[in-house]
Amino acid sequence: MAMEHQLSSVHIEDLDWQDQSFAIHSYTRNDFLCGSLGRHGVLCPPWLLQTNRGPPVVVDGFKRLKWLQESGTNRVECLHFEASNDARALMIQRLEAKIGGAPLNLAEKAQIVARLAELVPHERLLQDYFPAMNLAPRPQAIDRWRRVAAAEKLLLSALAHDHLCERACLELIDWPVDERRGMLALICELRCSASIQMEILERIREIALVQGKTRTDLVATREVQIILQDADRNHRQKTQTLRDLLQRWRFPRLWARQERFQRNLDGCGLPPAIRVQPPASFEGDGWQLQIRFSSPGELEQLLTSAQALASSQNLPALLSSPKADTARGATETQGKT
C-alpha cells in the first residue's frame, strides 16, 4: 500500500527527539558519514512521521539529523509521512530499507529481528529476513536475538565492534548477567577469533562444572587476571597464555604428560630438523619421527642422529606411559577431597 508523503522543509528543533520508536542503534561512531555530510550535506532526505499528538517523529535519518542539529542547521528538507499512514507498515518499510542498505553490524541485526518479530509471522521472518541479514535460522533463533536486542549495552557494543562473534553471543545470552559481563570483558580484552572465543567459552564452562565453581569465579581468579592485566603481552600472547592455562586446568594429567614429554625430548639433544610426534593425547603407540632436509648430505647426518636416538637410553623415558603422572594426579585429587 502506497504511503502518503511529501517533501517538506521542517525546523529541526520542532521534531520530537524523545520518541525513539523507529530507532535502530548502531553503537558505533560513523566518522565517514560525518565527513561526507560535511563535504556534501544531506543527499538523501530523512523520514518523518507526523503524529496526531504533536510534532513529527524521526523514522529514518537519526544520525544525519543529529549532525545537522549539532552543526547549527535550522531547517532541513525531509520526506514527511502523514499521520494517517500505518505506523506498523512504515516500520517494516524502514527496516527493509536498513536491511537493503549499508552493511549492518550484529547489534543492529538483533534490533531488527526484535522489531520484525512483532510485525510479521515468525515463519516469514526466518525464511525471508534471516537470509537477507545472513543470520542462521537455528531453533529458538528469534527468541535469542530478541533477548540480545534487550541485553546490556556492553554486549551490544561488543557485537557492534566485532569483538564478539555471533555464536559466542548466542551462547552468552543464556548465561546469568553477572557471568556474562565477566566473559564479555575477557573477550573484549583478548580480541580473538570466533573459533577461539567458542573454545574459551566451552573450556570455562567445563572447568566450572568440574570444579564446582561459577564461571565468574574462574574469570576472577588471580591466574586469569594476571594474564589479562599483563602490560608486556599483546592480545595474541594473552590469548595463547590463557588457552594454555585453561587447557592445564581442564586436562591436568594430559598437561603434565606433555610437559614431561617436552623435558625428555629436550634431553635427547635432537637437531631442530628432527621432530618427534607423539600419538594424539598420548594414547596408543602410533609415534612419528619427521625429518626435514634439503640435501643428501644433510639427510645422512640427520639419519645418524635418528639412529643415535633409537639406541639412546633417553628413548624409553620419552615413550614411557604416564603412570607417574596418573599416580600424581590421583594423589592431588585425594588431597583436595
User: Which residues have C-beta within 8 Å of that of residue 12, sequence separation ≥ 6?
Assistant: 65, 68, 69, 73, 74, 75, 76
Count of all residues that appear for the chain in the document: 337
Among positive and negative, which fits the CA dihedral 77, 79, 83, 88? Answer: negative
Which residues touch 254 (CB under 8 Å, ≥6 apart)? 281, 282
Question: What is the per-residue DSSP string for 307-328?
Answer: HHHHTSTHHHHHH--THHHHHH
pLDDT band at 325 (very low <50, low <70, confident <90, very high): very low
Closest CA to 256 of 168, 305, 175, 322: 322
pLDDT digits (tens, 9 = 90+) for 231-256: 999 999 999 999 999 999 998 888 88
Backbone angles phi, psi at 77, to 5 degrees: -85, 125
Quick one: cell of 153? 549495552
What's the alpha-carbon Rg for the chain, to the nearest Å? 30
DSSP letters spanning 194-234: HHHHHHHHHHHHHHHHHHT--HHHHHTSHHHHHHHT-TTS-
Sign of CA dihedral 164, 166, 167, 169: positive
Query: CB of 314 within 8 A of CB of 266?
Result: no
Q: How far apart are CA 194 and CA 138, in angstroms?
A: 18
Q: Which of 141-145, 251-255, 319-323, 324-328 has the lowest mean pLDDT?
A: 324-328
| Other beta carbons within 10 Å of 183 | 24
User: Taking 50 as the threshold, does the pLDDT of residue 302 lie above it?
Assistant: yes
What cell does 63 get?
544520525
Q: How many CB atoms are closer than 10 A to CB 56?
A: 21
Predicted TM-score of the model (pTM): 0.77
pLDDT at 143: 96
Region 59-67 average pLDDT = 92
Cα four-point dihedral sign 252, 253, 256, 258? negative
Note the helical H segments in the chain: 31-40, 62-70, 87-99, 106-117, 122-124, 130-132, 141-149, 153-160, 166-172, 177-190, 194-211, 215-219, 222-228, 235-250, 252-268, 296-310, 314-319, 323-336
pLDDT for position 327: 45
Q: Are strands 75-81 and 47-51 parallel, antiparallel or unpaired?
A: parallel
Residue 2 pLDDT > 70: no
Confidence bin at 313 (pLDDT 50/70/90): confident
Asked whether the predicted pLDDT for residue 113 surpasses 90, the reply is yes
How far is the first Cα of the chain from the last one, in angstroms, to the nearest whole number?
A: 71
